[in-house]
Amino acid sequence: MKNGLTIIFGFTILSSFGFLLTDLALAEQPPAYFSTSFYGGDIAKSRDDEKFSEDWQLKDDSFIGGLEHLKLRYPLKEGWLLKSEIKTLPGQRNHDLILELSKNDLFYARLHYERFPHYYDNSGGVYQNFATPFFVIPEEPGTDRQNLLLEIGLTLPDLPIFTFSYEKRLRDGEISSLTWGEATEGAVSRMIVPTVKEVNDDVNIIKIGSEYKHDIANIEVEQRWEFTDLESVRTEKNFTNGLPSAADATVVDEKDTYYESSQTTVKIDKTINKKLSLSGGYRYTKVDNDSEQFVKTFRDTGAVNAGSRNWSDPNSDSDVNSHLWNLNLLAKPIKDLTVQGFLRLKNIHRDSVSTWFDRTQVHDITARTNNTTFGEGIRVAYKRIPRIAPYLEAEWQQGDIEIKEKENRTDFFQRDTDSDYDKQTYTIGLSFYPFKRFSGSVQYRKEITKNEYDDDLDTESPTAIVPGGYSAFIDKQDFDTDIYTTRLTAHPTSSVSATFRHEYRAQEIDSKMEGLDRELAHVDMQTFSGSVIFTPISNLFLTSMVMRQNLRVKTRAREDARTPTRAFEGDSTTFVNTAIFALNEKTEFSADYQVSLTGNHDESVTNYAPDPIGLPLEHDYTMQALTLGVKHKIRKNMTLWSKYSLYDYDESHIADIDDYTDHLFAVGGEVRFR
């Protein structure tokens, strides 16, 4: 299928060029338009190729360049219009094609194909006190994504619009990951190693729809089918002195999931008068999910290892039926006052069974969930006040989930849980423009979620630790989030513009487990960002921005002397600066410099002191890029450019596992025709 898509893509590009060469010359109608840009270049690399690819999504061992964009708008006969956009960068396996053909009051057809890779690094961080750069897997992880969309619409006058579409989404490759496994350096061992997860996704979506605009109401109907096949293989294996070890057991976790879903949607909207509009709809979704999962443990000889991590005949089946009703109201009771109201009701019912054999006994599991959610919301905006625009929003959701789970085996379990949740969101804000060169906005948002888990039945025997029995069982859990946002923009002179933004987000998670005290966790994130745009002389443009972000994830464990974890700190500072200087009407120079720094390692590494056996960490790093460019206009419709980029990554670990310094040089051009 993938080769087929590539052939279709290549053929379409060639056809488009052929079309251009023959028909463009004949075109005399003013709206016809064609532009293209292209470039070619090379990357000079050093050190960690995979880290460079992950950070910049560029592969540094292949040709950089190709057709950056080709854009065409071309009227054919009367009412017929062809539009096309093409990008193809062969060395980077990055292609994009859009073809649209339309005829007024008859039809349109649209084809969109895109393909691009996503690269991942092949190291898993570094352990404290480990010097050698062993912590790297031999694979070069990366996935290849391909998306295809074909859409056809019938747009006959005074009749409903009919649409048909087919969509295919493919993802194939390897994603980097971390897993359990022994990593040994000399006599010292750690227990987390990098690995890859192989993935192969195939999603197919077919949609047919109709839209009818009538005096009584506008009606939209859509039927959607989805067929999805997902495969993944994850491997856990050991490392010795930097290399995968063949002498130990390897665990393979292989999943194959297939599901079919159908979805029927009906939407109706009606403008009753200038002051009142109503819209609403209903959606029915049915999902049938079948999956298999094989977990196998192999010895170095290839023989299957004994133990529970060897599954046979693993099958699961989940059937989901979901109903959603939605009603929206838009009212303007008085001039410049807008009021919106929303009601939403959703019910999801799921029946699941799964069975597997672990070489000792058969597990037969049944699970059933019934989830009903009711939501209400209101938004009010008032624009009567000169230069001030206040708004207020509130949303509420109440939900009830009944969960019944049962496993038939020797030490079977059965749980019936009735959980309720209540979500509330309140937003109040103000945009203001007090005088001509100054504007701003402030907003406060409060999010509250209250979860209650009523454990009606739990056959797992209570222990001295958790009376309820079920491990990690929570009775009550509340999320309380406050978000404050401020934005100010000033244009003190025509050549200066400055923007400042601040956001403070504070979240408290309050958990209560049966028979134990309540526990609090906090996530605090504070972000300052600011930018200045400065045009000191007419041919010089300067812009600079900075962001400082402080992130803290604190759990109760920080204050508990017995516990091995401390708060996680993830701070970062980022600068982005650009300068453009126009030497004359034809020639322009540009420079762009960006740098991102983090400083979370030194704090987080103490999580594991005095015995640093823990998780391999990201190190403090400095990631920077400098780009210098020159652009020269040869003719009114033709421009040539040249660009040099320096990419540099430096982390504080002495082994410099992930460090790289790469240089990119490229030349390109752009041509436009009308």
- How far apart CA 457 and CA 466 sit, in angstroms, is 15
Binding footprint of another protein, residue count (CB under 8 A): 190
| Interaction of residue 242 with another protein, rule CB under 8 A | no
Q: Torsion angle, CA of 420/425/426/432, rounded to 10 degrees?
A: 180
| Interaction of residue 165 with another protein, rule CB under 8 A | no
- Pick between residue 14 and residue 53 the one whose CB is nearest to another protein: 53
| Interaction of residue 71 with another protein, rule CB under 8 A | yes
- With CB under 8 A as the contact rule, the residue among 64, 126, 513, 657 that binds another protein is 513
CA 655-661-666 angle, 5° bins: 165
- For the bound state, the minimum distance from the C-beta of residue 13 to another protein, rounded and expressed in Å, comes to 19
| Interaction of residue 299 with another protein, rule CB under 8 A | no
Which DSSP string do the residues of 37-73 spell out, in sequence order? Answer: EEEEEEEE--B-HHHHHHHH---TTS-EEEEEEEEEE
Using omega within 30 degrees of 0 as the cis cutoff, is the peptide bond preceding 610 cis?
yes
What Cα–Cα distance (Å) separates residue 485 from each residue in 378, 381, 394, 551? 21, 18, 17, 16
SS3 608: helix
- For the bound state, the minimum distance from the C-beta of residue 244 to another protein, rounded and expressed in Å, comes to 15
- For the bound state, the minimum distance from the C-beta of residue 4 to another protein, rounded and expressed in Å, comes to 22
Neighbours of 626 (CB within 10 A): 16
Piece of the chain touching another protein by CB under 8 A; list 15-23, 100-108, 157-165, 462-470: 462-470
| Interaction of residue 30 with another protein, rule CB under 8 A | yes
| Interaction of residue 572 with another protein, rule CB under 8 A | yes
Across-strand partners of 427?
393, 445
| Interaction of residue 639 with another protein, rule CB under 8 A | no
| Interaction of residue 163 with another protein, rule CB under 8 A | no
Q: Which residues, 474 to 493, sit near another protein by CB under 8 A?
A: 474, 477, 479, 487
- With CB under 8 A as the contact rule, the residue among 55, 185, 458, 670 that binds another protein is 55
- For the bound state, the minimum distance from the C-beta of residue 272 to another protein, rounded and expressed in Å, comes to 14
- Residue whose structure tokens are 């290849």: 144
- Pick between residue 6 and residue 499 the one whose CB is nearest to another protein: 499
| Interaction of residue 576 with another protein, rule CB under 8 A | yes
| Interaction of residue 232 with another protein, rule CB under 8 A | yes
Piece of the chain touching another protein by CB under 8 A; list 20-28, 98-106, 149-157, 518-526: 518-526
| Interaction of residue 459 with another protein, rule CB under 8 A | no
Piece of the chain touching another protein by CB under 8 A; list 9-17, 18-26, 128-136, 195-203: 195-203
Buried b (16+ CB within 10 A) or exposed e, 125-142: bbbbebeebbbbbebbbb
| Interaction of residue 636 with another protein, rule CB under 8 A | no
Q: What is the DSSP letter of 361?
A: -
- Pick between residue 457 and residue 465 the one whose CB is nearest to another protein: 465
CA 576-578-579 angle, 5° bins: 155
Closest alpha carbon to 83 in 74, 92, 93 = 74
Q: Which residues, 108 to 127, sit near another protein by CB under 8 A?
A: 116, 118, 125
- How far apart CA 632 and CA 440 sit, in angstroms, is 39
| Interaction of residue 523 with another protein, rule CB under 8 A | yes
Closest alpha carbon to 288 in 348, 350, 364, 199 = 350
Across-strand partners of 660?
47, 649
In angstroms, how far is CA 266 from the centroid of its own chain?
Answer: 28
- With CB under 8 A as the contact rule, the residue among 141, 142, 173, 181 that binds another protein is 181
Asked if 651 and 658 count as a contact pair (C-beta separation under 8 A), the reply is yes
- Pick between residue 8 and residue 323 the one whose CB is nearest to another protein: 323
Site string for another protein, 531-570 (x = CB under 8 A): x-x-x--xxxx---xxx-x-x-xxxxx--x-xxxx-xx-x
Across-strand partners of 289?
259, 318
Q: Please count the helices (runs of H) and the strands (runs of E) in the chain.
A: 3, 29
- How far apart CA 410 and CA 125 sit, in angstroms, is 42
Q: Is 333 exposed, middle or buried (0-12, 13-18, 19+ CB in 10 A)?
A: exposed
- With CB under 8 A as the contact rule, the residue among 21, 26, 216, 464 that binds another protein is 464
- With CB under 8 A as the contact rule, the residue among 128, 245, 265, 310 that binds another protein is 265
- For the bound state, the minimum distance from the C-beta of residue 276 to another protein, rounded and expressed in Å, comes to 13
**End-to-end Cα separation, the chain, in angstroms:** 38
Closest alpha carbon to 483 in 434, 447, 521 = 447
- How far apart CA 12 and CA 84 sit, in angstroms, is 10
- For the bound state, the minimum distance from the C-beta of residue 303 to another protein, rounded and expressed in Å, comes to 21
- For the bound state, the minimum distance from the C-beta of residue 653 to another protein, rounded and expressed in Å, comes to 14
| Interaction of residue 151 with another protein, rule CB under 8 A | no
- How far apart CA 626 and CA 609 sit, in angstroms, is 38
Which DSSP string do the residues of 286-319 spell out, in sequence order? Answer: EEEEEEEEEEEEE-TTSPBPPSSS--EEEEEEEE
Piece of the chain touching another protein by CB under 8 A; list 8-16, 97-105, 131-139, 188-196: 188-196
- With CB under 8 A as the contact rule, the residue among 1, 14, 44, 243 that binds another protein is 44
- With CB under 8 A as the contact rule, the residue among 70, 623, 647, 659 that binds another protein is 623
Q: Which residues, 353 to 372, sit near another protein by CB under 8 A?
A: 353-354, 356, 363, 365, 367, 369
- Pick between residue 89 and residue 111 the one whose CB is nearest to another protein: 89
Asked if 281 and 268 count as a contact pair (C-beta separation under 8 A), the reply is yes
- For the bound state, the minimum distance from the C-beta of residue 537 to another protein, rounded and expressed in Å, comes to 9
- For the bound state, the minimum distance from the C-beta of residue 554 to another protein, rounded and expressed in Å, comes to 7
- For the bound state, the minimum distance from the C-beta of residue 125 to another protein, rounded and expressed in Å, comes to 8
Q: Which residues, 376 to 395, sit near another protein by CB under 8 A?
A: 376-377, 379, 381, 383-389, 391, 395
Closest alpha carbon to 667 in 633, 642, 647 = 642
| Interaction of residue 311 with another protein, rule CB under 8 A | yes
Q: Which residues, 10 to 29, sit near another protein by CB under 8 A?
A: none
| Interaction of residue 249 with another protein, rule CB under 8 A | no
- Residue whose structure tokens are 């906005």: 441
- With CB under 8 A as the contact rule, the residue among 210, 289, 424, 577 that binds another protein is 289
- How far apart CA 233 and CA 158 sit, in angstroms, is 53
- For the bound state, the minimum distance from the C-beta of residue 301 to another protein, rounded and expressed in Å, comes to 22
Piece of the chain touching another protein by CB under 8 A; list 98-106, 157-165, 240-248, 345-353: 345-353
| Interaction of residue 324 with another protein, rule CB under 8 A | yes
- With CB under 8 A as the contact rule, the residue among 630, 650, 671, 673 that binds another protein is 630
